[in-house]
Amino acid sequence: MQDIEKRSTPMKITSIDVFDFAKCLNYEDCAPICIRINTDAGISGFGEVGLAYGNAHYAGVGIVRDFGQLIIGMDPLNSEAIREKLFRTTFWGMGGGTVISAGMSAIDIALWDIKGKYYNIPVYQMLGGKTNEKMHAYASQLQFDWDLEDKNMNAPEEYAEATKKAMAQGYTAVKIDPVGVAASGNWQRTRQDPDWRLRGQLPKNVLELVRARLKAVRDLSDTLDIIIELHAFTDTNTAIQLANYIEDLNIMYYEEPVHPLNAVSMREIRENINIPIAAGERIYTRLGYRPFLENRSVNVIQPDVCLCGGISETKKICDMADTYDAKVQVHVCGGPISTAAALHVETVIPNFLIHEEHSYAIKEGLRATCKYDYLPEDGYLTVPELPGIGQEITEETMKKTWVYSVK
């Protein structure tokens, strides 16, 4: 911890460093983009752009470089004023969307990290203190196994074996996408299989294999919580068809069954199935969540701290959801900084449901990029108690990444 003296004059942001992990990690599908905001007081704060996966990586690097130059010289303690500047004066800020919100998220997280270090307290204490002493976690994305290397799970017994690995580590909840890997073994986002039809009407071969995969997992335990992830591969009709076909397997909730921004279709699905609906990974800001909460189409919201606007906006979204009695599972699918930021929100909010421990989070290379290794113990996590968010990139990692500086 830096020894910081309180100042009589405001701090100023002097520079922003953008770290592109694609250079130092060998994962084709997970390369975090992190930032460090530096100040004239010697305090630096870390944040993460929520585009570690998918096909918007370089846009994530670029948006922080674009927005970063606009906040040089501003007081980092005035995070709301900085958010308003980016929202209202950049033209695109008010339009939002994935890349814009991801850039604003990284900046906001780093500003909270600076605040915590300045006041020498963890971020959660500035958000309202602990409501949840520890956070129940689930093992996420078991269609890729639960191990140090990913592979596509195909046969039902493979899904069961992956689940056994997670249960052996103390997890009592898992999340599986049972439709994303076709019978051929191809992951449908990267290589679509015409014989594995997921929209319009699910054919018998799809229904039977999907159910067999889930049944193999359910047969391991009557008390295991099973979350289904659909990644919006399905449409309204097929999501309803599938949910009714596997309803007896006691599913905890049903994630992204349809286009993530379609509140009307999401509502139609909810009205026709008996499994709770979850969504939010690709919904941004309070404005994005508003229609889903107002039409009661989701039971569980999944804001990503590194995508939906940062710690500030995530806390506001969670508070808004609480007025509709919606529960929260913060979406976490990035590097160790994203995990730390999520934990600070989750420990505070009264409508917290469960924490996502993604399969990426157990990979040794990704864990080694930062100073602290926060992993569940017996299926539970606790919030970092260090000042700020309690996570920083290691000096060794900084030397290995591509670095872009804004001054």
Domain of 56, CATH number, reads 3.30.390.10
Q: In this predicted model, what pLDDT tens digit does every residue of 285-341 receive, in sequence order?
A: 999 999 999 999 999 999 999 999 999 999 999 999 999 999 999 999 999 999 999
Domain count, the chain: 2
Residue 5 lies in a domain: no
Helices 98-119, 79-89: crossing angle, 10 deg rounding: 160
Task: Read off the pLDDT of residues 352-393 as tens digits, 9 standing for 90 and up.
Answer: 999 999 999 999 999 999 999 999 999 999 999 999 999 999
Same domain assignment for residues 144 and 170: yes
CA neighbours closer than 13 Å in the CB half-sphere of residue 343: 26
Same domain, 321 and 177: yes
Do the Cβ atoms of 300 and 307 come closer than 8 Å? Answer: no
Structural domain of 198: 126-381
Q: Where are the alpha helices (DSSP H) in 15-155?
A: 57-71, 79-89, 98-119, 123-127
Do 114 and 145 fall into the same domain?
Answer: no
Q: What is the pLDDT of residue 1?
A: 43
Percentage of residues of the chain with pLDDT beyond 90: 93
CATH number of residue 240's parent domain: 3.20.20.120
User: Looking at residue 190, what is its pLDDT?
Assistant: 83
* pLDDT tens figures, 216-232: 999 999 999 999 999 99
Question: Looking at the structure, do residues 168 and 282 belong to the same domain, yes or no?
Answer: yes
- Are residue 247 and residue 146 in the same domain, yes or no? yes
Confidence (pLDDT) at 7: 65
Query: How far apart (Å, rounded) are the C-alpha atoms in residues 220 and 225?
Result: 11
